[in-house]
C-alpha cells in the first residue's frame, strides 16, 4: 500500500490539487475509485496474513502431535508407572490456538451516479406541470373551458398562445405568445434539471469524500491487525521451533526412564528409586509440566498475541536451556 493511502496527508494534498482541474462529479468518481482500491489492498493484505496464520496453525498442530507421539505421552505413562505422584493441578489443554478478532469489520464502497437520468425525468414532469399550469391560467383569463376528452380546435389553441404575448405588454400575437410559452416551459425544465444535477453532484462529492475517509480508517485498522498477526506468526514459529527441541529432549528422557525401569524395576513410589534416578524422574516431570502449562492457554486473545503465551514460552525456553546445559 503506497504512502498516500497509508498516511492520508499526502492524499489530501492530491485531492485538493485535483479540485482545481476536475469537476465535482469527476472528483467524486476518482475518490470512489481510490477508496475501492484502498479497501481491496487492505483486504488482500489481511487475507494473506490469515492464510499465513492458517499455515502456522497446521504446522503447530503437526509439531504438537509429533511431540506427544514421540516422547511426551510415553514419558508421562512411564512416570505414572514409576509411581510418581504430583501435587500440581493438571492443566487442561486448549484446543483453539488462534482466536481471530470477533469484531471483524467490513466496508462496502458505493458507486456515485451523475443523476442526469432522474434529472431529465424531473425536468419533463416539471415541464408538463408548467405547461398545464400556463394553459389553465390562459383559459381562465380568456373564459375558455377545455375538455379533456378532445383536442382543442386550432382557433382555441391560437387564442391561448396569443394571450401569452399580453404578459409582456404586446398585443395578442400567436408567434410571440408561443415563444413566451415555450421559453417559460423550457426555462422551468432547465432550472429543475440543473438544480437536480447540482444537488446530486454535491451529494456525490460528499459521499465520495466520506467513503474515502472511511476507507483510510479501514486500511489503518487492517494495518494494525496485520501487525498483530505478524506478531502471532513470529510467536508461533518460535513455539514450533521450541517444540521440536522438546521432542528431542523427551526422546532422551524416555530412554533414561526406560533404562531405570529395566534396571531397578517398578516401585510403589518414585522416591523409592535411586537418588540419581529420582532426579531424572523430577527433571522429566518439569519438562512435562512446562509443556502442559503452555498448551493450557490460547496463543492469541481478541485478535492479539497473548502476553501470557509470550511469558509461558519464555518459561518453556528457560526450562529447555537449563536441561541442555545439564547435558554438557
Each residue's pLDDT tens digit, 161-198: 888 888 887 787 889 888 999 999 999 999 999 999 99
pLDDT at 7 over 50: no
Burial class (CB in 10 A: 0-12, 13-18, 19+), 249: buried
pLDDT at 2: 44
- Residue 117, C-beta contacts closer than 8 angstroms, at least 6 positions apart: none
**Other beta carbons within 10 Å of 92:** 9
Whole-prediction pTM:
0.61
- Between CA 307 and CA 303 the distance in angstroms is 12
Q: Nearest to residue 307, comparing CAs of 233, 223, 231? A: 231
Count how many Cα atoms sit within 13 Å of the Cα of residue 115 in the half-sphere of its side chain.
22
Identify the three-state secondary structure at position 301: strand
Burial class (CB in 10 A: 0-12, 13-18, 19+), 149: exposed
pLDDT at 6 over 50: no
pLDDT at 29 over 50: yes
Q: Are 119 and 193 in contact (CB under 8 A)?
A: yes
Question: How sure is the predictor about 255, in pLDDT bands with cuts at 50, 70 and 90?
Answer: very high
Q: Are 135 and 185 in contact (CB under 8 A)?
A: no
Q: What are phi and psi of 305, to 5 degrees?
A: -65, 130
Amino acid at each position: 500500500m503506497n504512502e498516500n493511502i497509508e498516511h492520508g496527508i499526502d492524499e489530501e494534498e492530491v485531492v485538493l490539487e485535483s479540485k482545481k482541474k476536475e469537476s465535482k462529479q469527476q472528483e467524486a468518481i476518482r475518490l470512489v475509485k481510490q477508496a475501492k482500491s484502498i479497501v481491496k489492498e487492505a483486504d488482500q493484505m489481511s487475507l494473506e496474513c490469515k492464510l499465513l496464520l492458517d499455515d502456522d496453525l497446521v504446522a503447530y498442530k503437526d509439531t504438537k502431535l509429533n511431540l506427544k507421539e514421540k516422547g511426551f505421552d510415553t514419558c508421562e505413562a512411564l512416570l505414572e508407572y514409576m509411581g510418581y505422584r504430583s501435587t500440581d493441578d493438571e492443566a487442561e489443554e486448549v484446543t483453539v490456538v488462534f482466536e481471530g478478532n470477533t469484531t471483524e469489520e467490513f466496508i462496502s464502497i458505493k458507486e456515485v451516479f451523475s443523476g442526469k437520468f432522474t434529472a431529465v425525468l424531473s425536468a419533463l414532469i416539471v415541464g408538463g406541470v408548467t405547461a398545464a399550469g400556463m394553459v389553465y391560467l390562459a383559459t381562465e383569463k380568456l373564459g375558455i373551458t377545455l375538455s379533456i376528452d378532445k383536442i382543442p380546435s386550432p382557433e382555441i389553441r391560437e387564442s391561448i398562445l396569443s394571450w401569452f404575448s399580453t404578459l409582456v405588454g404586446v398585443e395578442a400575437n400567436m408567434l410571440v405568445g408561443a415563444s413566451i410559452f415555450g421559453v417559460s416551459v423550457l426555462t422551468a425544465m432547465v432550472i429543475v434539471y440543473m438544480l437536480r444535477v447540482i444537488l446530486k453532484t454535491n451529494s456525490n462529492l460528499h459521499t465520495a469524500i466520506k467513503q474515502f475517509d472511511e476507507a483510510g480508517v479501514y486500511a489503518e485498522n487492517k494495518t494494525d491487525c496485520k501487525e498483530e498477526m505478524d506478531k502471532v506468526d513470529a510467536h508461533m514459529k518460535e513455539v514450533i521451533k521450541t517444540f521440536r527441541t522438546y521432542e528431542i529432549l523427551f526422546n532422551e528422557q524416555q530412554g533414561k526412564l526406560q533404562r531405570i525401569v529395566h534396571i531397578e524395576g517398578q516401585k510403589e513410589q518414585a522416591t523409592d528409586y535411586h537418588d540419581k534416578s529420582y532426579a531424572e524422574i523430577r527433571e522429566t516431570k518439569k519438562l512435562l509440566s512446562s509443556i502442559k502449562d503452555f498448551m493450557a492457554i490460547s496463543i492469541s486473545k481478541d485478535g492479539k498475541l497473548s502476553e501470557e503465551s509470550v511469558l509461558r514460552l519464555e518459561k518453556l525456553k528457560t526450562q529447555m536451556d537449563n536441561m541442555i546445559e545439564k547435558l554438557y
